């Protein structure tokens, strides 16, 4: 990969001076277009050997372009706010919004390379990291970003020569320290690791550009021209550049789905409910005070049809926690700043710190549910979202975030009943909107979308729990219990093994409450036991 | 202050149960109105003695209200990102946006109280902190916020009793540690300090509510009802509640202002310019690598008429810095998230960490310049902005941020010339908009606004430097030189003493370049020396 950057590329002074004014004017013009276009975030990675001119090149770009619309992000030691979140969090928070250029001095490549040089990770682990990087960059490109990755190369001899030259000039001598000379010792190792990683991450959507770093003029002009051409091409192109996606297939030819298999008649009597609820609330409170939770965090995702009882369930979880330990994030339309970023950005910004809990009321699954069904995004967007979401949750889980996802399923009749009931109660009135009534009309399309979602995103690290929610008592207890079981297993170091229905035994306990008519799902509209309304008023 | 919270307030169970449903419904309704209204951020401080029910009260509020639109912020140890910025930064970043409730468990009162108990600050310093707090809260209220400050009180005996009761109950015993008992020893000291601070900060716009903490039901009901009434009142009121402001006065009855006194004929020949520029750029680079700068940060604010040369000057500063050390923030229209916050929030979010530089291209002075002149904000808003801005800069300076502010002054003729020139040059074309031409028409109004701004906001900690900018050479060198002198003085521990014109000697040097015709300001439109255009192409 590095051969063509070892042939002694050089630009003479006259050529350089002749080329720069036009290049600079064109870069400025492209930058203005970029800003007016407001669709493309530009991500430029500057990496490579020490002394190969990384800093100088960034400064040249600043000189040539309008520095007000560039941000340079240097990533050295992560701050404690960064260390307490997944490694990619610091890069997500630094992504340039659409219309701006973000220069990454140090990037998601730095840690993998460093770790491998120090032999903190195996080659296999490095490969896994490369895969994760490729997927991340594919996401950026699919979201419209221009991703340019520069690697500045110097031969070992070139590096020695350059360091000596820097040392000799009093204006630059301060930049050379013993540290730089020591780094020379790892030259071969770095070349080796970088060569491997660059090859693996040299994707069609975000290829590496290896630039010879010896000659300042050559390096500056090359980077400037590549950046210009890439900008111009991207701005001129009207076709979306996207990873291919396969169409959705159906496997429910017998009419059975994970949703149709749910027994919505499951109920809990009020007395049992109250006992179970406080039991699991107590348990959850204990678990989240467990010293082992200090290094973890918890992320609960709630999805469900309107009036499925998400709010009530979240409230029951909250009752077990200290308000200072958790945040509830209601997901509504994205803000202007969120729209200028990749889809998942607005969820990344709420990832909890260690020891903290975030509960999402509606989630990143909006893309494959409401956005898909209502046509708010292109088919390609939601089709690739499954993978992006899995990657997202994989990164969370990989860094110790416990991800627990609930789908609250109710029947259409139950939903209608709740809508009507809500309209009667003063302080719940606001919850019913025209949109809620409209969504009901697309019931079947939503059911299909939910099944596809579960099929594609119920993973080992972050399984879906489908909750039979026609009975609020049953649903709340199942949710709290599942939460406790997941947190407990995670703290004990066991990872979940996939979709986790309530255990057979637990199911039996629930069933035994109403052993007869409701077993076959016909009991959902039955009037509730007399004690119900009282308990409800109290519990809410 | 605490007497009425020591009389043994109590609510019996029946009264409580009867009152809660209506209170809860009304709170939820008020919360919905708050959200729809989208004008009022609600700031609730929960403070007081240990064991007086702070946590419990927050949890009750969560139970009664919709937790999706409340955030609770707990402030314990600041993170390193917070420690490297002014103390108020962490509170600014946590302010609730309009329409939401932010509960502060721990607040801007915590540190002053703690520091005074530990005798880290004198009583005088505490008083100064109280003053700063009052001004901050006044700003919040003037910006439309509802600020509610609760102090939960317990007598010493009550606290002992409560801790014992908590210890006895197995469900709450975990909450009592030796730490709690130790804290009892500082009870008197805390009462003393809090009593003093509460009195000083018991302002008409944000008074304290001292609530007896002994009886859970009394405490919950009291806080709930006070919150409800405050919300309802605020939502019902249409008149703006604002601090009174005095009208602007003029002292330039002789027609002389700080602007008219500027000698816009000041120039530097290209040769001198190039020498001086690289001299000061080198000096700046040195200063910002000085170990003493590691604990400081630099904030440059640029204001000036259109085409006054802000961009070019910023670029010359940038050329002296490593791109990884600074950010340029171009200030444009606020985003949706910024509009939901107090005016200064969008500047607070860009305050640099230690060792970093932020350059604002246009600034928080927009309120007293463009917003004032164009009528984009009410007169009261810009009249009180001077004080808010001074407080802002005072907080920055007080925590080691070096604040350097430049006004770039050009003559009307020079501006016209530059507008016309810009239209000719391809890559600068974009910079001229209809708005620029329109702004020219309000020249006089702007000049007045600038004079008022300098008059009111050129402070000891953050003086304005007025830059004679008809000649770009002169302006750039003056800016770089001023910057160096300020940073040097700050690193040496000297603080600036007010408005800092270029020293007499420096002025003389500049003058001597063009000793004859241009001395009386008539030379500004003269054609430039022959070498000029060449140098310009190179230097830019």
Give the residue with greater pLDDT, A18 vs B159.
A18
Mean pLDDT by 10 residues, chain A (540 residues): 85 96 95 92 93 90 92 87 93 96 94 92 93 95 95 90 85 78 86 93 92 93 96 87 82 86 95 96 95 95 95 93 92 93 96 96 96 92 94 94 97 91 67 70 91 92 95 98 96 60 48 37 36 36
Does position B530 have pLDDT exceeding 80, yes or no? no
Alpha helices in B492-530 (DSSP H): 504-512
Q: Is B25 on the interface with A (CB under 8 A)?
A: yes
Long-range contacts formed by A485-492: CB under 8 A, 24+ apart: A486/A402, A486/A404, A487/A284, A487/A287, A487/A288, A487/A293, A487/A298, A487/A402, A487/A404, A488/A287, A490/A296, A490/A402, A491/A287, A491/A290, A491/A292, A491/A293, A491/A296
Whether B21 contacts chain A with CB within 8 A: yes
Of A67, A79, A311, the CB nearest to B315: A67
B351-376 pLDDT, tens per residue? Answer: 999 999 999 999 999 999 999 999 99
Spatial separation of the C-alpha atoms in residues A385 and A370, rounded to whole Å? 13
For residue A537, the chain B residues in CB contact (below 8 A) are 21
- Residue B430's pLDDT is 56
Return residues 68-107 of A near B (CB < 8 Å).
68-74, 79-81, 103, 105
**Do A426 and B25 make contact, defined as CB atoms within 8 angstroms?**
yes
Q: What is the largest CA-CA distance in chain A?
A: 93
CB atoms within 10 A of CB B537: 10
Residues of A in contact with B26 (CB under 8 A): 427
Q: Which residue of A has its CA nearest to B289?
A: A174
Residue carrying structure tokens 């008149």: B239
Strands (E), B188-282: 208-212
Pick from A53, A68, A356, A537 the residue to mutate for testing the B interface (most B CBs within 10 Å): A68
Name every chain A residue with its beta carbon within 8 A of the beta carbon of B105: 323-324
* Closest chain A CA to residue B25: A427
Contacts of A171 in chain B (CB under 8 A): 282
Q: Which residue of B has its CA nearest to A360?
A: B68
* Average pLDDT value for residue range B290-310: 95
The residue whose two tokens read 């609330």 is A281
| Token representation of residue A132 | 């994760």
Confirm if B409 and B469 have CB atoms less than 8 A apart: yes
For B:150-179, CB contacts with A below 8 A are 171, 174
CA distances from B105 to B42, B44, B45, B54, B264 (A): 14, 9, 6, 8, 54
CA-to-CA distance for A262 and A471, rounded, in angstroms?
Answer: 13
Q: Which of A245, A365, A239 is nearest to A302 (CA)?
A: A365
CA dihedral B502, B508, B510, B512 (to 10 degrees): 170
Partners of residue A78 in chain B, C-beta under 8 Å: none
pTM of the shown model: 0.82
User: Is there a contact between B55 and A282 if contact means CB atoms under 8 Å apart?
Assistant: no
Confidence grade of residue B539 (pLDDT, cut at 50, 70, 90) = very low
Rounded distance between C-alpha atoms, residue B335 and residue B340, angstroms:
9
In whole angstroms, what is the distance from residue A466 CA to residue B199 CA? 55
Strand positions, DSSP E, A375-471? 401-409, 464-468
Average pLDDT over residues B239-265: 85
Question: What does the DSSP 8-state code read for residue A172?
Answer: T
Interface list for A 420-439 with B (CB within 8 A): 426-427, 430
Measured between CA atoms, the residue of chain B closest to residue A58 is B323
Among chain A residues, CA nearest to B81: A79
| Interface contact B323-A59, CB threshold 8 A | yes
Q: How far apart are CA A351 and CA A255, in angstroms?
A: 38
**Average model confidence (pLDDT) for chain B?**
87
Query: CA-to-CA distance for B26 and B28, rounded, in angstroms?
Result: 5
- Tell me the longest C-alpha to C-alpha distance in chain B: 93
Which helix (H) or strand (E) covers residue B255, if one does?
A: none
Out of A28, A318, A430, whose CB is closest to B62? A318
Main-chain dihedrals φ then ψ at residue A74, nearest 5 degrees: -100, 130
Task: Choose the mutation target among B97, B300, B427 for the interface with A, i.e. most A CBs under 10 Å.
Answer: B427
Token pair listed for B400: 């080691």
Binary contact (B67, A105; C-beta < 8 A): no
More confident residue, A67 or B405: B405
Given a cut of 60, is residue B535 above it in pLDDT? no
Query: In chain A, positions 331-350, which contact chain B (CB-CB < 8 Å)?
Result: 335-337
Rounded distance between C-alpha atoms, residue B480 and residue B390, angstroms? 24
- Burial (CB count <10 Å: 0-12, 13-18, 19+), residue A516: exposed
Find chain B residues with C-beta within 8 A of A426's C-beta. 25, 29
Predicted pLDDT of residue A172: 76
Q: pLDDT tens digits for B454-468?
A: 999 998 889 999 999
pLDDT in tens, B111-121: 999 999 999 99
What pLDDT, on a 0 to 100 scale, did the predictor assign at position B495? 52
Are residues A70 and A100 in contact, defined by beta-carbon separation less than 8 angstroms? yes
* A359 and A330 Cβ atoms separated by less than 8 Å: no
Q: Can you give the pLDDT at residue B44?
A: 97
Residues in chain B closer than 8 A to A55 (CB atoms): 322-324
Q: What is the C-alpha R_g of chain B?
A: 28
Residues 440-469, chain B, touching A (beta carbon < 8 A): none
Strand partners, A72: A103
Give the Cβ contact number of residue B388 at 10 Å: 21
Chain B: closest CA distance from residue A123 (Å): 31
Q: Which of A323, A335, A361 best probes binding to B when mutated, by most B CB atoms within 10 angstroms?
A: A323
Which domains are delineated in chain B?
A: 3-236 (3.40.50.300), 270-534 (3.40.50.300)
Indicate if the pLDDT at residue B440 is higher than 80: no
């Amino acid at each position: 990969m590095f051969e063509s950057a070892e042939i002694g590329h050089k630009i003479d002074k006259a050529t350089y001076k002749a080329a720069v004014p036009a290049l600079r004017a064109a870069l400025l013009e492209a930058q203005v277009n970029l800003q007016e276009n407001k669709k493309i975030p530009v991500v430029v990675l500057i990496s490579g050997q020490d002394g190969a001119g990384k800093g100088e090149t960034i400064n040249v770009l600043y000189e040539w372009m309008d520095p007000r619309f560039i941000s340079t992000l240097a990533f050295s030691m992560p701050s404690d706010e960064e260390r307490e979140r997944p490694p990619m969090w610091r890069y997500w928070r630094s992504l340039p919004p659409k219309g701006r250029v973000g220069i990454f001095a140090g990037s998601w490549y730095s840690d993998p390379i460093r770790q491998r040089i120090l032999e903190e990770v195996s080659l296999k682990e490095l490969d896994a990291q490369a895969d994760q990087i490729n997927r991340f960059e594919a996401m950026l490109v699919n979201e419209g970003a221009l991703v340019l990755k520069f690697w500045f190369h110097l031969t070992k001899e070139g590096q020695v020569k350059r360091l000596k030259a820097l040392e000799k000039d009093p204006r630059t001598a301060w930049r050379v320290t013993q540290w730089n000379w020591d780094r020379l010792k790892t030259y071969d190792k770095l070349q080796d690791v970088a060569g491997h990683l660059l090859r693996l991450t040299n994707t069609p959507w975000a290829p590496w550009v290896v630039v010879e770093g010896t000659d300042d003029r050559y390096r500056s002009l090359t980077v400037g021209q590549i950046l210009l051409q890439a900008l111009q091409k991207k701005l001129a192109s009207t076709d979306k550049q996207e990873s291919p996606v396969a169409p959705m297939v159906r496997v429910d030819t017998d009419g059975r789905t994970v949703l149709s298999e749910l027994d919505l008649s499951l109920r809990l009597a009020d007395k049992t409910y109250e006992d179970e609820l406080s039991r699991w609330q107590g348990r959850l409170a204990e678990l989240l005070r467990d010293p082992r939770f200090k290094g973890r965090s918890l992320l609960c995702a709630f999805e469900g049809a309107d009036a499925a009882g998400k709010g009530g369930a979240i409230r029951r979880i909250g009752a077990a926690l200290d308000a200072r330990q958790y945040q509830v994030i209601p997901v509504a339309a994205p803000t202007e700043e969120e729209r200028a970023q990749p889809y998942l950005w607005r969820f990344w910004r709420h990832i909890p710190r260690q020891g903290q809990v975030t509960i999402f009321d509606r989630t990143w699954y909006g893309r494959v549910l409401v956005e898909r069904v209502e046509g708010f995004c292109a088919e390609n967007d939601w089709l690739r979202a499954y993978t992006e979401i899995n990657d997202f949750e994989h990164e969370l889980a990989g860094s110790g975030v416990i991800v627990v996802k609930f789908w609250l399923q109710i029947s259409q009749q139950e939903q209608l009943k709740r809508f009507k009931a809500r309209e009667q109660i003063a302080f719940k009135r606001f919850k019913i909107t025209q949109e809620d009534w409209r969504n009901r009309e697309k019931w079947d399309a939503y059911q299909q979308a939910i099944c596809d979602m579960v099929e594609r995103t119920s993973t080992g690290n972050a399984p879906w729990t489908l909750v039979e929610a026609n009975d609020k008592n049953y649903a709340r207890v199942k949710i709290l219990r599942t939460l406790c079981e997941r947190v407990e297993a995670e703290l004990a170091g066991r990872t979940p093994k996939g979709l986790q229905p309530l255990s057979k035994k637990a199911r039996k306990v629930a069933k035994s409450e109403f052993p007869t008519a409701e077993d076959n799902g016909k009991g959902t509209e039955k009037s509730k036991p007399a004690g119900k309304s009282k308990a409800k008023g109290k519990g809410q």
